[in-house]
Amino acid sequence: MIELQHINKTFQLGDQTVHALDDVSLLIDKGEYISVMGPSGSGKSTLLNVLGLLDQPNDGHYLLEGTDTTQLSEPERARYRRDHIGFVFQSYHLVNRLNARENIELPLVLAGIPPKERAPRVDEMLQRLSLTPRADHLPNQLSGGQRQRVAIGRAIIMKPQILLADEPTGNLDSKSGADVIELLEELNQQQGITLLIVTHDAAVGQRAHRRIRMVDGRIDTDKNGA
């Protein structure tokens, strides 16, 4: 359902060309649980951004459920991001002036879903994330783990098939980090959401069924099974 064909992504740094993704091809099935590891600067985030349609490759093709996303117009790409992809960032990226409930609700608001329909969905999400008592708290009134849970709630409120997490535990202590991983795995197991986690934490990386290791913009190893 996800297919990358010969994806290249370069950045120009002064007179130097950085090959962030170097002829990457990858096939991902629905419901897979994949970790992406590798040294800093190896292109993990770039890979995730391309998969999340946040960034466009220089060349190659990216097929999402049979659609070549490299051919899509800007609004169509936005629609795909909204309906098919959830993103979780290391630094949460919550909107500071909005409380937990409003942050989770944001994708529904952007999608133009009527308030009456939104409310029960957000309530259910808060419940599920054990954030109900924190619903009215602003991000700066929440702990790191709670913030990341809000961010995950926001990422999955539109019921995407793919969840991309770029170092989701990078800013968390081990306890909250473990909670977040547990939550992500639960989503993968119970809802069959395709999960990709970029991490520097070997322990976290080892938990995935499929482990991709990147080096210098290339997929170095791609291991399946335990």
Ligand X SMILES: Nc1ncnc2c1ncn2[C@@H]1O[C@H](COP(=O)(O)OP(=O)(O)OP(=O)(O)O)[C@@H](O)[C@H]1O
Which residues of the chain form contacts with Mg ion (CB under 5 A)? 45
| Closest residue by Cα to residue 220 from 33, 24, 3, 8 | 24
From 20-28, 119-127, 150-158, 214-222, span contacting other proteins (CB under 8 A)? 150-158
| Of the candidate residues 7, 24, 46, 108, the single one contacting ligand X (CB under 6 A) | 46
Q: Does residue 202 touch other proteins according to CB under 8 A? A: no
At 28, phi and psi to the nearest 5?
A: -125, 130
From 37-45, 61-69, 150-158, 176-184, span contacting ligand X (CB under 6 A)? 37-45
Report the 10 Å Cβ neighbour count for 124. Answer: 11
Nearer to other proteins, 78 or 202 (CB): 78
Nearer to Mg ion, 162 or 197 (CB): 197
Give the integer Cα–Cα distance in Å for 2 and 13.
30
| Closest residue by Cα to residue 46 from 71, 3, 80, 9 | 9
Q: Does residue 43 touch ligand X according to CB under 6 A? A: yes
| Closest residue by Cα to residue 193 from 225, 152, 223 | 152
> What residues between 3 and 32 interact with ligand X by CB under 6 A?
11, 13, 18, 20
At 57, phi and psi to the nearest 5?
A: -70, 160
The contact set with ligand X (CB under 6 A) reads: 11, 13, 18, 20, 38, 40-46
